């Protein structure tokens, strides 16, 4: 199963990358294949639209979504969650399985 990590980035130190990396490790250790948008390093030529295209295409190639703490306050994570629900992805929760 391929899982997309979604969570807040804007306004966080280092774009919340430590939380994304920790989630990637936990998910990988649990046997999931992971897409981690926090691992993508973009240059100054990228803008929000470019990032959204990469993220949403990648999300659509996954089977599930893992939501980081604080996602409810993130416009991007809420959009990713809505798309995941729309296309029928399973929400993965490591701690209730």
Contacts of 26 (CB under 8 A, 6+ apart): 94
Q: State the distance between the two ends of the chain, measured CA to CA, in whole angstroms.
A: 14
Q: What is the pLDDT of residues 57-78, one digit of tens each?
A: 999 999 999 999 999 999 999 9
Class of domain 2-92: alpha beta
The domain segmentation of the chain, as residue ranges, is: 2-92
16-30, 41-55, 63-77: segment of lowest average pLDDT: 41-55
| 46: pLDDT strictly greater than 80 | no
Of 29, 36, 9, 37, nearest in space to 94 by CA? 29
Cβ(69)–Cβ(7) under 8 Å? yes
Q: Name the one residue in this structure whose structure tokens are 């391929």.
A: 2
């Amino acid at each position: 199963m391929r899982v997309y990590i979604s969570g807040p980035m804007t306004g966080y130190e280092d774009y919340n990358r430590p939380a994304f990396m920790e989630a990637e490790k936990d998910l990988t250790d649990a046997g999931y294949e992971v897409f981690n948008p926090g691992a993508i390093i973009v240059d100054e030529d990228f803008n929000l639209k470019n990032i959204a295209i990469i993220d949403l295409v990648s999300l659509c190639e996954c089977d599930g979504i893992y939501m980081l703490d604080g996602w409810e306050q993130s416009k991007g994570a809420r959009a990713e969650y809505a798309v995941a629900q729309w296309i029928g992805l399973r929400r993965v929760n490591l701690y209730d399985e």
